[in-house]
Amino acid sequence: MGEASRRKRQRRRDEGGGPASPGPADIQTKPTLQTFVLCERVETAQDGVQTIHRIFDRFNIRMEINAAPGTPIPNISIPMNYVLFARFGAGVGRFRASFRLVDPDSDEIGTTGDNWFWLASREPAHNIIITVSVPVSKSGPHRWIAYLDGEQVGEFILVVDLQRALGGPGAPGVRPS
C-alpha cells in the first residue's frame, strides 16, 4: 500500500461524526455485545488488561430528612455515580455505540451519546468505559439499554430501592447511604 493510501485511510479513521463511506476493500461485519455491566471502577494495568471492580445490579438508598413530624417528604433526586463498561467484539468496520437509561415509567433519564469505534480483523474487541452520574428519583427497575448503530443489542436491569424517612432532632439533613 502506498504512502498516500495509508494517509487517506488514517485520516478517515481519525475523523469523527460518523463513518466514512466504505470503499470496495472495506468489509463490515457487525460486532456482538460481549459484556455490559455497571461497576464501581475499572482499572487498566500496565499490560492493558482491565479489571472490573464491584459490579452493581441494585442500589439501596436510604435518606433521612431532618424535619418536624407531619412535614411532607419532598421528592429529591439522588445522583448515582458509577462506571458503565461494555465490550464489543468479533467485528470489522466502524461502529457507533450508545447507551440510555430509562426509569420504571419508561421515561429517559440519561444517555451517553455516541461512542464511535473501529474494529479491524486483527483486533479481538473494543471496550467502552464511561463514568456516569444520573439523578434518580423513583424506586423500581431502571433499564440501561445498549445500541449499536441505532439498533438495540442489549439491556441491563438496575433495581433502585429509594427510601425516604423523616429523622428526629439532631438527625442529619439529607444523607444517602
Yes or no: say if 122 and 147 are a contact pair by the CB < 8 Å rule.
no
Give start and end residues of each alpha helix (H) in the chain. 3-14
Residue 132 has, within 13 A of its CA and on its CB side, a CA count of 26
Domains (range + CATH), the chain: 30-167 (2.60.40.3880)
Which residue do the cell numbers 447511604 mark? 177
Whether the pLDDT of residue 51 is over 90: the answer is yes
pTM, entire model: 0.71
pLDDT tens sequence across 146-171: 999 999 999 989 888 887 666 655 44
pLDDT of residue 165: 66
Q: How many CB atoms lie within 10 A of CB 162?
A: 19
In the numeric block, which cell numbers belong to residue 100?
Answer: 440510555
Spatial separation of the C-alpha atoms in residues 88 and 34, rounded to whole Å: 6
